[in-house]
Structure formats: C-alpha cells, structure tokens
Amino acid sequence: MTATPRAVDAKEILLTWLTDQVSVPVVSTRPDNKDAPATFVRLLLTGGTGRHDRALHTTQLTIDSYAPTTAAAVELALAVDAAVHGAVAGLSPVVRVSGTSPSESPDPDTTSARATATYQITTRLLT
C-alpha cells in the first residue's frame, strides 16, 4: 500500500528557521507578561490555498515584528522578509515564497510598534 502524501507544518518549520536567522525571540503567541521581550517576532497561521498540483501545499502565515519604535519594527520586518524569502534556497521542503511587503500595523493592545507582512509558503508534500 502506498503512503498518502501529507502536508508539513510550515509554521513550525518557519519558527525554527527564523529563530536561527534573526537575533530576537520568534514566538507563536504574543508574550504579555512583565518579562516579555521588547523586540520579538510572532507567527500566525492564517490559512492558505492548501493542496494543489498533486505534490504541493500552500500555507499562509502572517508575521508580526514588534519593537519599541516603528523604525525598529520595520527594520526587523525587513530582516524577517529576507529570511523568509531565503527559506527557498536554504530550507527543504520549501519550494516557493510570496508575500506582501512589511507595513506599519499598530497593535491596539500594546504600546509596542508593529510591522506586519503576510506570506504564502509553498512546500512539497511528504510521502
């Protein structure tokens, strides 16, 4: 019997990848305690087109970059953008990355500045 191909967890893959690529914590939930870092990156799974082309799966991730100032948040978001696009060359099973340019996105629940971008990450299915 042939194994059914399955999608990989693109969010988990990028959490690990970005942790190695940027010099700030990379998390899936915004830290809200008094010891929270002033600068960090948060990944949110926001959908995607799913399976297509028999062997591919596309996941959408929204990535928030938080910092004390807007300039620092945008600078961090641009570093994240370079790292996410670099995943195509350095991270198997990622085969394609597309997304928006980082934009200012004030978070009404914090006093931190935030820059946000949304990416479509296409990966090969595992067999």
Quick: pLDDT tens for 60-96. Answer: 999 999 999 999 999 999 999 999 999 988 778 999 9
In percent, the amount of the chain with pLDDT more than 90 equals 81
> Which CATH architecture does the domain made up of 10-28+38-124 adopt?
2-Layer Sandwich (3.30)
Domain spans, the chain: 10-28+38-124
φ and ψ at residue 56, rounded to 5 degrees:
-125, 155
Residue 1 has a pLDDT of: 61
**pLDDT (tens digit, 9 = 90+) per residue, 23-48?**
999 999 999 888 889 999 999 999 99
φ and ψ at residue 5, rounded to 5 degrees:
-60, 145
Residue 102 has a pLDDT of: 97
Encoded amino acid at 116, one letter: T
What is the Cα gyration radius of the chain? 15
Which residues, including other chains, have CB under 8 Å from residue 37's CB and lie 6 or more apart?
24, 25, 31
